[in-house]
Amino acid sequence: MLVKKLVPVVMAAAMAFAGAEAMAARQTFVTIGTGGITGVYYPTGGAIAKIISAKKDVYNIRASVESTGGSKFNINAIASGDLDFGIAQADTQFLAYNGKGPWEKAPVKKLRAVFALAPEAVTFVVAEDSGIKSVMDVKGKTINLGDPGSGNRVNALDIFKTVGIVPGKDFRDEKLKPADAPRVLQDGRIDGFFYTVGHPNGNIKESTAGKRKTRIVPITKEIEPLLKSAPYYSMVNIDMAQYPDAANAGEKVSTLGMLATLVTSADVPEDVVYAITKEVFENLDAFKKLHPALANLTPQSMLDGLTAPIHPGAMKYYKEKGLK
């Protein structure tokens, strides 16, 4: 009799275990590539992961973030299947999908756009004692253009190609990560650095608040030909009220800019991309509060700068809401 009574109990336990195992098997884990931990990409990726992971009981999706080398790294990692999503500048998205620049011999045709994020500005921070007042003044100086694989390095190279200045020949070209640049600038080992980033930014605050006085250099007339040839670039303004310790805190600083975007692969399932798109858009007010650079996002602005085809999962949501 005891054995007969135990059989239903054992069967029920086995069924419960099998059900839990099936649930675990259905769970999807996604990784979002971002950038350096001091930039905008890392907290933005974390915000996306937090929003979708909060609904893990609904979608069975768990998201995590990875600090990476930035735009180019993220796109290459998506192409190889090492990342599911990544944050990348609109220009690198365009170049990768269309097989230009670093991707001339290997276009990333599986690259798909999801939505746009905050605008970014090519920010050129220089020491006041360097005498640099424009990009034309860098000859003979030591300038950090950014680490290989970063979007800010691509942007800096675009600028110098446009104005006919050759890094490594006309000035010493350093390849430091953005997190290291403020300290090295303050130590006097470089004269300036480029960082394409949303504002306000901790690295820029650190650079402008040090003992060595610094300024943010406008980048305007010199790059007009670049604006005509590259549709993903536009002019943006940096609000210098965010950097009251800069030598030119009271001036207007205009510079080259573009949008940061969330990208993925055509291989990522439609339901996963749909869920992430839906949750970010439908929790937009909370999402915007997670970083000051996200404050001005609107559903319409998040469809700008998408220079690769939109993933079907994202498009499904946009059509449901009449955004496309």
Its pTM stands at 0.75
* 55-77 residue pLDDT tens: 999 999 999 999 998 899 999 99
Ranges of CATH 3.40.190.10 domains, the chain: 2-119+260-320, 120-258
The predicted structure's pLDDT at residue 16:
43
As assigned by CATH, the class of the 120-258 domain is: alpha beta
Q: pLDDT confidence of 159, banded at 50, 70, 90?
A: very high
- Amino acid in position 261: T
Beta strands in 67-110, from DSSP E residues, in sequence order:
85-89
pLDDT reading at 3 higher than 80: no
Q: pLDDT confidence of 195, banded at 50, 70, 90?
A: very high
As assigned by CATH, the class of the 2-119+260-320 domain is: alpha beta
The predicted structure's pLDDT at residue 68:
94
- Where is 277: in which H helix or E strand? helix 270-282
d(CA 228, CA 214): 31
Report which DSSP code applies to 6: H
